[in-house]
Amino acid sequence: MQKNDIFNLEITDIGVNGEGIGKVEGYTVFVKDAVIGDVIEAKLMKAKKNYGYARLVKILTPSPDRVAPVCPMARKCGGCQIQEMSYKKQLEFKEKKVRGNLARIGGVPEELLDRIMAPIVGMEESAYLGAPFYYRNKAQFPVGEDKEGNPIAGFYAGRTHSIIPNTSCALGVEVDERILNLILDFMKEYKIKPYNETAHEGIVRHVLIRYGFRTKEIMVCLVVNAEKLPHSEILVGRLAEIEGMTSITLNVNKDRTNVILGDKVKLIWGQEYITDYIGNVKYQISPLSFYQVNPVQTERLYRLAVEYAGAGEKTVWDLYCGIGTISLFLAKERCRVYGVEVVPQAVEDARNNARLNGIENVEFFAGKAEEVLPEYYEEYEKSHGGEKAHADVIVVDPPRKGCEEELLRTMVDMRPERIVYVSCDSATLARDVKYLRERGYEMVEGRAVDQFPHTVHVETVALLTKKAQ
Ligand code: SAH
């Protein structure tokens, strides 16, 4: 097989990034946007010895699982990877991916997985056109310029940093588009330059929008390569007319980096945060704080985490706690909770959230989980005459890279009866499960939750308990 070869291909499998996989005489071909069951015409773009990457030229026979995308940009955009696959198949794919990782990387026996894995929690019932859309409470649009020098907002074309204009994302809420267009018109009128990555010039880099589904409060945060936004009073006047507008801020990011947010937030209108509910817990959310993007599925995710943790007067550590979301759910079940989070603004939100809900049986620590917990453990031993710190339950919800070994070691030392692992990357979950299984813990329950329909991402909750000695 050579570059530019054109051939017919039947798609028989799917890769971890949602790409279709087919074989021609033993040669494996990966094709973006192709769905299992499609017969396609493909053109080889990159040829390696045993495998290659091809472009989808034409669909000859569509798969029974192929659906028309809701968004016309679905293929170009890096945001959705599997929008052309039926939602039912998406769920099957995600379930298989989680199981595959737990078996292969985690070494969890297949028979055990058969017994303990509950079916994936999908989002079918909030269906739109047979699949869930418009679920995201947060949108982050990069801002740039078109060839004529007009400001544009949109998304990065898959894996690149060129911006394709599109202000109506099928995963976001309707008001996003109105806000973006208002900002772009303002920029044009007042000649405010979008940021240019290559030249490290210009002002507006990103627009971050958050929407509280329950409270209908809106937050707009403009990420700027400056200390101030010229004529901001005009923009603020216009944005404030939008019903529900609650918080308008600037985030200062003057670094040459592709990290979206800088550390500094300046309030330019309203208050610095919006509030929202998950279940009956009220949360305040600041621009820099992490907050789950799909509120419908988040409630299910947290309920599952709480169910695995078990209610009652227990000592629980909630590591990587963000604004204290899971912590407060647990505290409401009478647990005595210690939360740990690295972003100072999120810790502040977490403390305020406890107050806001009149919850007292919770305490938050700012710092890295892999430093705070080991230090606590050591200090405890020193100040308690050699007695070791113990936790009944430890909950972790790390970012994609999973937990540091230093943290896992201390967790094992604290001998919790239960470890509840909430994960947004089942590969690192599996790696950490392997570590814990080798040190006296066994996975006894697990369930995937689809927080991110139409993308390849999936959340997983796993319960591990201490094996009998
Ligand atoms: N449980 C929360 C947050 C989960 S996201 C929720 O569901 O809302 C992961 C969180 O871990 C983020 O808030 C991030 O800021 C934080 N974080 C990242 N690295 C960390 C570390 N090393 N120690 C503690 N927190 C960390």
To test ligand 1's pocket by mutation, which of 290, 301, 337, 340 has the most ligand atoms within 8 angstroms of CB?
290
pLDDT averaged over every residue in the chain? 96
pLDDT, tens digit, 9 for 90 and up, residues 185-223: 999 999 999 999 999 999 999 999 999 999 999 999 999
Q: Summarize pLDDT for 228-272 with one digit per residue, the tens.
A: 999 999 999 999 999 999 999 999 999 999 899 999 999 999 999
Q: What is the DSSP string of 332-357?
A: HTT-EEEEEES-HHHHHHHHHHHHHT
Q: Which residues pair with 247 in a beta bridge?
A: 219, 270
Using the mean position of ligand 1's atoms as its centre, give its distance from the Cα of residue 341 in Å: 6
Is the CB–ligand 1 distance for residue 353 below 6 Å?
no
Three-state DSSP state, 167: coil
CA nearest to 282, candidates 217, 344, 208 = 217
Pocket lining: 459 vs ligand 1, CB cutoff 6 Å: no
Of the candidates 287, 297, 305, the one whose C-alpha atom is nearest the C-alpha of residue 348 is 287
At 241 the pLDDT is 98
* Contacts by residues 436-439 (CB-CB < 8 Å, ≥ 24 positions apart): 436/408, 436/411, 436/412, 436/464, 437/106, 437/107, 437/108, 437/464, 439/412
Q: Is 402 in the pocket of ligand 1 (CB under 6 A)?
A: no
pLDDT at 291: 95
Residue 301 CA: which ligand 1 atom is closest? 7
Structure tokens at 261: 């947010």
> What is the pLDDT confidence band of residue 157, given thresholds at 50, 70 and 90?
confident
> For residue range 59-103, what is the model confidence (pLDDT) as tens digits?
999 999 999 999 999 998 888 999 999 999 999 999 999 999 999
Binding site membership of 321 for ligand 1 (Cβ less than 6 Å): yes
Q: How many Cβ atoms from other residues are within 10 Å of residue 95's Cβ?
A: 19
Helix (H, G, I), strand (E, B) or coil at 101: helix
How many Å lie between the centroid of ligand 1 and the Cα of residue 416?
Answer: 21
CB 79 within 8 A of CB 157: no
Please tell me if the CB atom of residue 399 comes closer than 6 angstroms to any atom of ligand 1.
yes
Residue 158 has pLDDT above 70, yes or no: no
Q: Which of 342, 403, 411, 421, when mutated, tests ligand 1's pocket best, judged by the most ligand atoms within 8 Å of its CB?
A: 342
Q: What is the pLDDT of residues 328-351, one digit of tens each?
A: 999 999 999 999 999 999 999 999
∠109-114-119 over CA atoms, to 5°? 130
- The pLDDT of residue 128 is 58
Query: How confident is the model over 435-441, as a mean pLDDT?
Result: 98
CA of 321 to the centre of ligand 1 (A): 6
Reference 24, options 37, 13, 8, 38; nearest CA is 8
Q: Looking at the annotation, which residues are catalytic?
A: 424
